């Protein structure tokens, strides 16, 4: 669809005009944010929204969010040079889909370690711990006789 047709479509109704204006505002705020935040932090965060003077920024993980919170006063001052209506910045963690999926890591225990866990499972009296240790030993292969 040609751009001029999309432009006409977006200006067809008041609701779409408001959506277009809101999108343009968020894009401008994202550009300001990218110019204010350090590159390595900006690549792991983005402007999520803007409401009542507060700029909402999503960080990919807690470490990025913590660093951005430390830099928030500086970021706010930098953004306010061009957009004085922004009075605060709120940093939130929003894990992306690719980071939500946890890849299982296959670990192996040495035969000696499996043997020690097996011996421990026979000595403990707590049934839950005994069961957990037995499952661990079974998963990693019961040790053979020495």
Residue with token string 């277009």: 20
Percent of the chain's residues with pLDDT above 70: 82
Say yes or no: 11 and 44 in one domain: yes
Q: Please state the rounded mean pLDDT for residues 48-64.
A: 94
Same-domain pairing of 134 and 111 = yes
Pick from 100, 102, 136: nearest CA to 116: 136
- On whether both 83 and 124 belong to a single domain, the answer is no
High-pLDDT (> 90) share of the chain, %: 47
Residues 6+ apart with CB under 8 A from 88: 53, 54, 55, 76
Quick one: 25 and 77 in the same domain?
yes
Using the predicted structure, report yes or no on whether residue 105 has a pLDDT greater than 90. Answer: no
| 95 and 114, same domain (yes or no) | no
Range of the domain at 15: 3-99
Domain count, the chain: 2
Q: Pick from 79, 99, 119: which residue ends a domain?
A: 99
When pLDDT is averaged across residues 7-26 and rounded to a whole number, the result is: 81
Nearest-angstrom CA–CA distance, 79 and 84: 8
Q: What is the 3-state secondary structure (H, E, C) of 35-88?
A: HHCCHHHHCCEEEEEEECCEEEEEECCHHHHHHHHHHHHHHHHHHHCCCCCCCE
Residue 90, SS3 per DSSP: strand
Domain-terminating residue out of 99, 121, 136: 99
* Mean pLDDT score of the chain: 84
Pick 64 or 130 by higher pLDDT. Answer: 64
- Residue 141 CB-half CA count within 13 A: 10
């Amino acid at each position: 669809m040609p751009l001029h047709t999309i432009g006409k479509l977006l200006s067809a109704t008041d609701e779409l005009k408001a959506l277009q204006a809101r999108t343009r505002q968020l894009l401008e705020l994202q550009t300001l944010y990218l110019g204010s935040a350090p590159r390595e932090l900006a690549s792991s965060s983005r402007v999520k929204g803007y409401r009542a003077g507060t700029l909402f920024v999503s960080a990919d993980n807690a470490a990025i969010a913590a660093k951005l919170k430390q830099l928030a006063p500086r970021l706010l001052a930098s953004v306010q040079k061009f957009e004085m209506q922004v009075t605060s910045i709120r940093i939130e963690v929003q894990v992306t889909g690719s980071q939500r999926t946890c890849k299982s890591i296959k670990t192996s225990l040495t035969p000696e370690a499996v043997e020690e866990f097996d011996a421990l499972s026979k000595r403990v009296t707590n049934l839950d711990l005994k069961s957990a240790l037995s499952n661990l030993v079974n998963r990693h292969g019961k040790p053979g006789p020495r």
